[in-house]
Amino acid sequence: MRGKLIVIEGTDCSGKETQARLLEEKLNSLGITAKRLYFPCYDTPTGKIIGACFLGKKDLCKEVLKSNTGWFKEGASNVDGLVSSLYYAADRKYNIKQIEDLLNDGVNVILDRYTFSNMAHQGGKITTQEERFQFFKKMEVLEFDLLELPKPDLVILLYVPYQVSLKLLESRDELSDNNEKDTKQMKRAEQTYLELRALYKFKMIECTSSGEMRAIPEIHEELLGNVLQELRK
């Protein structure tokens, strides 16, 4: 039986990586074979292009560019959304065979980010809802039709309101890439994720309560419940 493709998306500071890791560990402990992967794949050639040249991640910049900024001097958040999307889509296409092989072997694949991250962060650069909707449709054609990427069986959105995300980022000693430094882009991406949730019927988990982050185990239990429900189908 083919495995299921489970996608975890999330607004900034929602703990996508942590929750994807916990989900992988829990499913395997239950005897449900699962493998966690992520996009961009920063340890592959296409991922390094995104991390260093586009996002300006400091660790990858030092490795690839010997500098602390990306090649796009206007900053990643100011690059045309279609141009940006092509880099991310190329990374997914370059690395998709591993995912397809796992799915065909019956492994349930947990993805930390997928094409909907593209839609949210690049679509957030577009000012009108109608134009954003057209952008979403273009991304569907590009990634699912032209590049033939597999469609997910379940998408779960971990939601943290912008104001809480901003407070959490302010507590960090250093931000990892240029997108995190653009707070306006963060807010636009949050709004776009909510549009995507309504359009594509994502499951959504509220990661905050009364303006504070919920406990990680509590979020994990809710996430696990949604995934187990999908796997029983």
How far apart are the C-alpha atoms of 7 and 177, rounded to whole Å? 23
88-127 pLDDT, tens digit each: 898 899 899 999 999 999 999 999 999 999 999 999 989 8
Return the DSSP state at 214.
P
Rg over CA atoms, the chain? 17
Greater pLDDT, 221 or 76 = 221
User: Whole-model pTM?
Assistant: 0.84
Rounded Cα distance, 115 and 135, in Å? 12
Cα gap 83→216, rounded to integer Å: 36
The amino acid that residue 139 corresponds to is M
- Spell out where 11-164 has E strands: 34-38, 108-112, 154-159
Residue keyed to tokens 């586009």: 54
